[in-house]
């Protein structure tokens, strides 16, 4: 795939060179060059269309798997909506009347603005909505009218479906989610003729932006082998170990599922207890080691921890039968054994991030049943243990969708990383989809080099057996929170037995692990008297990767675990800046004053295998597919 992407880049570059000659200094297009460019576009488009038709029409009309269906259940959900709307005609009529009066007010305001009179908007974007920041949206009455007209329509369409009576809760959530996707897609900012910034660029460049944008679109289609894979950043601007994932360390152990990285010390002495960080196996570990100034790993090393990090493999077909149980046995349990060999220490502090935290809790319960007390403390970064309220991810979790997903996974042996990335991107479509459509395809610009988005595009696969177990037992059955709800390696898992000091950090804007759901998990683990819950600002990534030097977001603390998250929040105290020092104070108190000479990778019984970030982390999806 990398080789194929390279060839594609050459094609795009060549077409881009032609595009550069399309306009003269006066903005006039060269007809001959224009004809060449569109001939090349037609050739590439035809090849992509042929490949797409081969993929998506195989078996149609013959009983094959290519027959169109409603795997996501969207059509059925909206059919249920249309069937229930007439049940409350007064609500529909009220929505129509309110929409009529809003448009009447907008017409009046627009005439007043045309006459130079200041007026208050009928509809304004919500806080944080960056789609309408362009000055012309505010100052030019026509674009302001389009913006407000769209906002009024979107508000009332959403209200109409939200107020429908008689819908099951899962159907209501699905209708609500996909209605918002539809409304977001129709934003005037997403179309060339109604986006003033695009119109300006088109006039100034003589239309070069649209030709370049078409080339960008075709390149992304080629990169996705017929599927649209939107470029979010310049992937050639980054290289692991060079300008991301640069904290010095060595791989000192590996098995079939993971490598263990030990980092070079940065202090003369260190805490006796080592620190193991266990990230999720969705994406790569280096979200915690992007750059020196925002690397949690580097910061933890500087605080005097001997830091070990799990770097999970990017699985392929041979890992298809790897289970959640295997991830426990070959992940944290194997790593605890390795750390003891490397340092001589039996007790370890462990951090689990997101899915890594779910695995950590499961491992704690397993070890408690076995009388294994090697984990001295557990820290959970935005992790779910109670899945009763999974947020908008619940839209994608039902029997029909999981059965369809399992069918695809069993054919390939894994869930493709791009499929999961698309799901997460849809949760924040305006930021993670439509903003790039505007930049890349309408403005014809190249994506900006951004380390976080480079990491975000470095998604990984999920083994079929493991992922099916995870979706069915955690999300659908919510069985992890129940004593004996799941069994791993022959041991019934009871989170209440995992009675170790625990630190939970959740974030107030998290759309993947909603903080109130994470709070429920904190109540389930152990007896609760050894648990500290902290609520950070921002979301699932930025709220965690929030170094003290940034002085951003803030966080809330309350030493008491109240019965409900609302009660906890009511009495919580707000603090300025990063929560990292709060965690360090907590873990430092548990570690005590005892220090030992700094440990270097290779000093113990484990020999150095290779330099960090290691070979498991450097395999990207394209390279894995090519193999």
- Residues labelled catalytic: 354
For 77, the 3-state DSSP assignment is helix
Q: How many angstroms separate the Cα of 55 from the Cα of each of 5, 49, 421, 423?
A: 20, 10, 21, 21
For 33, the 3-state DSSP assignment is helix
For 35, the 3-state DSSP assignment is helix
The structure tokens listed for 488 are 């791993």
* Dihedral over alpha carbons 578, 583, 585, 588 (to 10 degrees): -140
Is the CA virtual torsion 188, 189, 190, 193 positive or negative?
Answer: positive
Q: How far apart are CA 539 and CA 513, in angstroms?
A: 9
Is the CA virtual torsion 8, 450, 462, 425 positive or negative?
Answer: negative
Contact 495/481 with Cβ under 8 angstroms? yes
The structure tokens listed for 601 are 């990778």
Please name the helix (run of DSSP H) or strand (run of DSSP E) that holds residue 511, with its range, or none: none
For 74, the 3-state DSSP assignment is helix
Partnered with residue 611 across adjacent β-strands are 250
List, as one string, the DSSP characters of 372-436.
---EEEEEEES--S--S--GGGGGG-SHHHHHHHHHHHHHHTEE-HHHHHHHHHHTTHIIIIIHH
Is the CA virtual torsion 167, 170, 173, 175 positive or negative?
Answer: negative
SS (H, E, C) 153-206: HHHHHHHHHHCCCCCCHHHHHHHHHHHHHHHHHCCHHHCHHHCHHHHHHHHHHC
CB within 8 A of 396, min separation 6: which ones? 72, 423
Q: How far apart are CA 129 and CA 595, in angstroms?
A: 49
Please name the helix (run of DSSP H) or strand (run of DSSP E) that holds residue 51, with its range, or none: helix 31-57
Residue bearing tokens 């001959």: 32
> How many residues in the chain?
627
For 488, the 3-state DSSP assignment is strand
Please name the helix (run of DSSP H) or strand (run of DSSP E) that holds residue 311, with its range, or none: strand 307-312
Q: Is the peptide bond before 613 cis (omega within 30 degrees of 0)?
A: yes
For 248, the 3-state DSSP assignment is coil
């Amino acid at each position: 795939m990398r080789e194929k992407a390279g060839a594609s880049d050459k094609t795009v570059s060549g077409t881009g060179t032609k595009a550069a000659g399309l306009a003269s200094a006066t903005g006039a297009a060269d007809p001959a060059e224009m004809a060449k460019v569109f001939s090349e576009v037609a050739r590439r488009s035809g090849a992509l269309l042929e490949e797409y038709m081969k993929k998506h029409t195989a078996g149609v009309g013959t009983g094959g798997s290519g027959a169109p269906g409603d795997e996501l259940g969207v059509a059925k959900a909206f059919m249920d909506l249309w069937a229930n709307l007439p049940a409350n005609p007064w609500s529909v009529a009220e929505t129509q009347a309110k929409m009529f009066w809003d448009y009447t007010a907008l017409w009046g305001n627009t005439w007043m603005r045309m006459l130079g009179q200041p007026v208050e908007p009928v509809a304004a974007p919500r806080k944080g909505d960056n789609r309408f920041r362009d000055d012309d949206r505010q100052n030019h009455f026509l674009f302001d009218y389009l913006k407000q007209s769209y906002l009024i329509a979107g508000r009332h369409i959403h209200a109409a479906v939200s107020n429908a009576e008689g819908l099951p809760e899962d159907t209501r959530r699905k209708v609500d989610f996909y209605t918002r996707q539809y409304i977001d897609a129709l934003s005037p900012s997403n179309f060339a003729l109604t986006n003033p910034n695009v119109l300006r660029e088109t006039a100034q460049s003589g239309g070069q932006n649209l030709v370049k944008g078409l080339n960008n679109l075709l390149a992304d289609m080629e990169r996705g082998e017929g599927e649209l894979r939107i470029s979010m950043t310049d992937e050639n601007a980054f290289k692991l170990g060079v300008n991301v994932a640069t904290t010095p360390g060595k791989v000192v152990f590996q098995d079939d599922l993971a490598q263990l990285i030990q980092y070079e010390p940065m202090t003369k002495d260190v805490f006796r207890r080592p620190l193991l960080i266990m990230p999720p196996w969705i994406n790569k570990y280096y979200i915690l080691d992007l750059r020196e100034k925002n690397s949690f790993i580097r910061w933890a090393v500087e605080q005097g921890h001997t830091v070990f990090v799990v770097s999970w493999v990017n699985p392929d077909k041979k890992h298809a039968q790897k289970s959640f149980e295997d991830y426990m046995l070959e992940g944290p349990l194997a790593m605890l054994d390795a750390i003891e060999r490397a340092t001589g220490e039996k007790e370890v502090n462990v951090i689990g991030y997101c899915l890594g935290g779910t695995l950590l809790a499961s491992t704690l319960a397993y070890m408690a049943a076995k009388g294994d007390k090697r984990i001295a403390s557990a820290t959970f970064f935005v992790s779910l243990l109670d899945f009763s309220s999974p947020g908008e991810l619940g839209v994608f979790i039902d029997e029909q969708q999981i059965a369809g997903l399992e069918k695809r996974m069993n054919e390939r042996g894994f869930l493709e990383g791009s499929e999961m990335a698309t799901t997460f991107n849809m949760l924040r479509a305006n930021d993670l989809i439509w903003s790039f459509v505007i930049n890349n395809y309408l403005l014809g610009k190249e994506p900006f080099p951004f380390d976080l988005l480079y990491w975000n595009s470095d998604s990984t696969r999920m083994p079929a057996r493991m992922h099916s177990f995870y979706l069915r037992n955690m999300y659908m059955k919510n069985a992890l929170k129940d004593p004996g709800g799941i069994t791993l390696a022959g041991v019934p898992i009871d989170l209440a037995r995992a009675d170790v000091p625990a630190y939970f950090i959740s974030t107030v804007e998290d759309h993947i692990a909603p903080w109130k759901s994470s709070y429920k998990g904190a109540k389930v683990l152990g007896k609760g008297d050894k648990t500290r819950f902290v609520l950070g600002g921002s979301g699932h990534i930025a709220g965690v990767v929030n170094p003290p030097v940034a002085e951003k977001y803030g966080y809330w603390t309350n030493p008491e675990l109240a019965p409900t998250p609302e009660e906890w929040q009511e009495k919580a105290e707000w603090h300025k800046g990063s929560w990292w020092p709060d965690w360090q104070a907590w873990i430092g108190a548990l570690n005590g004053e005892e220090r030992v000479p700094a440990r270097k990778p290779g000093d113990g019984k484990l020999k150095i295998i290779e330099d960090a970030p290691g070979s498991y982390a450097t395999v990207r999806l394209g390279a894995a597919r090519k193999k």
